């Protein structure tokens, strides 16, 4: 069975662990370079994107993350995860992410914490689910990739080959369908 790594340096990595445990999947927390050695897929959880990048650099993980991207290994980012996976970030000091997904994304586009909400999204694999949008970003432009989740017709989830990014948190509301979808992607990749 393939092992999934969860980037566990900041954010809601524990919630992703609970989903993987529920699905009976072998997982490990990724906190340092050597943790990338025996994993087959990577989850980048929600949190605070600017803080994520600072910790990634402080823990000397940036080189490993870029190598992971260049090797096109399966990666699933939620909320802050999609932000740092993006090629261009609006409302951001640096203005760019790690380029897993060729999209333009706007941080905190719905507003602050008090503007967070739960809404039903529609997946392109014939499933609907209520999920949490917490200080969520908005995908402003998709240069490459396919929308795999929509909210009121607008893309809130993108897939480009082995990379999946979503602007919301299914792990908080108990929806496991995207994790299952990601696991199929991991199991079908070399």
Checking DSSP bridges between strand 4-7 and strand 41-44, what pairing results, if any? parallel
Catalytic residue among 15, 79, 106, 179: 79
Give the C-alpha distances (Å, rounded to integers) separating 133 from 25, 93, 104, 110: 25, 22, 18, 9
171 in active site = yes
Rounded CA-CA distance 41/27 in Å is 9
Burial class (CB in 10 A: 0-12, 13-18, 19+), 43: buried
Catalytic residue among 15, 16, 171, 179: 171
Catalytic residue among 16, 64, 106, 169: 169
- For 41, phi then psi, to 5°, come to -150, 155
Q: What is the 3-state secondary structure (H, E, C) of 26-71?
A: CEEEECCHHHHCCCCEEEECCCCHHHHHHHHHHCCCHHHHHHHHHC
169 in active site = yes
Helix ranges (H only) for the chain are 13-22, 49-58, 62-70, 80-85, 170-173, 177-188
40 in active site = no
Catalytic residues: 79, 169, 171
């Amino acid at each position: 069975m393939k092992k999934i790594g969860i980037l566990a340096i900041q954010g809601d990595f524990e919630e992703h662990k609970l989903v993987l445990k529920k699905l009976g999947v072998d997982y490990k927390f990724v906190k340092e370079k050597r943790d990338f050695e025996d994993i087959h897929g990577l989850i980048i959880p929600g949190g605070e994107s600017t803080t994520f990048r600072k910790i990634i650099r402080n823990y000397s993980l940036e080189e490993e993350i870029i190598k992971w991207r260049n090797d096109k290994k399966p990666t699933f980012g939620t909320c802050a995860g999609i932000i740092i996976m993006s090629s261009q970030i609006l409302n951001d000091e640096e203005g760019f992410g790690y380029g897993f997904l060729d999209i333009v994304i706007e941080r905190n586009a719905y507003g602050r914490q008090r503007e967070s909400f739960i809404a039903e999204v529609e997946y392109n694999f014939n499933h609907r689910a209520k999920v949490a949008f917490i200080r969520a970003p908005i995908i402003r432009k998709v240069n490459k990739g396919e929308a795999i989740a929509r909210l009121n017709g607008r893309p809130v989830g993108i897939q480009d080959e082995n990379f999946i990014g979503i602007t919301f948190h299914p792990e908080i509301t108990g929806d496991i369908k995207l994790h299952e979808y990601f696991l199929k992607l991991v199991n079908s990749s070399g």
